[in-house]
Amino acid sequence: MKKDKIRLPRREWVRSPATKVKTSAKVYTRKKPAKITNEEFLEKRDFRFCPICSAELVKRVVDKKNRMACHVCGFVYYQNPVPAAAVIIEKEGKILLVQRKFNPYAESWSLPSGFMEYNETPQECAKRETKEETGLDIKIKNLFDIYLATDDPRTHVVLMVYLAAIIQGSLKAGDDAKEVRFFLPSEIPADIAFTAHKRALKEYLEKNSVNLAKNLPTILPSEQPNLV
């Protein structure tokens, strides 16, 4: 005997407005990196572990100097200065400067500049960095001077400064630049990021018979020696 299915009446109900659950779409935003001082930046750059075997580096006397060395594989971290290139570009009596976007010395001004890449000549570095930071293609005219920079918290730098001329391009801040501008000598900002850049600007203006602005103080040769 076939049994009939029992059908129960469907209960209809309406949720009270008070019980309605409202959900909003989640919006994920990328947090801006917190600003850090140059001292904090330097601490973050210190090498603590061996790049060869990952053991902790310890201080040892190597070649009569205190150096960080690996007690396992013998690796020695020599803090050699890093080569970099910068350019002085003058147009209608004005000097091109770049305002830095990131540390070290964020928001301070400097010459268009940067570190050399592997298998790159200093002249190629100067052209590339200028293009990346300012949008301008340049022609290297000649070497102005070479400086030892010891106030970069990342490392000591051998800075090669070139005189250059603009070939083409539109001036636009790019890469790690916040702003790019041409300044009259009397308008050059006081907050120039690196002592070597101050020296280069000072000596360039003096060689071109331009009175140095008061906001570029005299720098003793013993502080940041020229290398040529």
Active site residues: 179
CA dihedral angle for residue 200, residue 204, residue 205, residue 207, rounded to 10 degrees: 140
Task: Decide: helix, strand or coil at residue 127.
Answer: helix
DSSP class per residue in 39-98: HHHHHHH---B-TTT-PBEEEEEETTEEEEEETTT--EE--PPEEEEEEEEEETTEEEEE
| Cα first-last separation, the chain | 112
162 neighbors 79 (Cβ within 8 angstroms): no
Task: Decide: helix, strand or coil at residue 141.
Answer: strand
Strands 82-91 and 157-169: parallel
| Residue 104 DSSP class | S
CA–CA distance, 179 with 109 (Å, rounded to integer): 9
